[in-house]
Amino acid sequence: MSRFQAGERILEIKEEIIDLVQEAMDLMRYEGTDTERERARGYWYAHIRLALDEDSGFMGRSMCTMEDSARELMAEEEDEAEDELLDEDAF
């Protein structure tokens, strides 16, 4: 597996985690008390979502999200592809 492929897989895993954490919050919404729901949303749900990407809907940001890590892995190959295109255009 290349670094780029690993980055793509991490992005897929991130989406799976988002789906699962949303399912967990749905369970809290249906079965939890108001206090339990608010505690879950304000603590573990917020922490998980902030750690995944910048599209959490919460104020604040993680210093390094899961998406950031994936993009770092993918960047080297993307840069090489851009360089190849520039080299081809030069001729």
Per-residue pLDDT tens digits for 41-87 = 999 999 999 999 887 777 777 889 999 999 999 997 766 666 566 66
By C-alpha distance, which of 2, 23, 4, 13 is closest to 53?
Answer: 13
Q: For residues 10 and 66, is the Cβ–Cβ distance under 8 A?
A: yes
**Residue whose structure tokens are 């749900």:** 45
Domain count, the chain: 1
CA 58 to chain centre: 14
What mean pLDDT comes out for the span 9-33? 97
User: Which residues constitute the domain of residue 38?
Assistant: 3-90
Q: pTM here?
A: 0.78
Q: How far is CA 74 from CA 1, 5, 11, 49, 77, in A?
A: 12, 8, 10, 22, 6
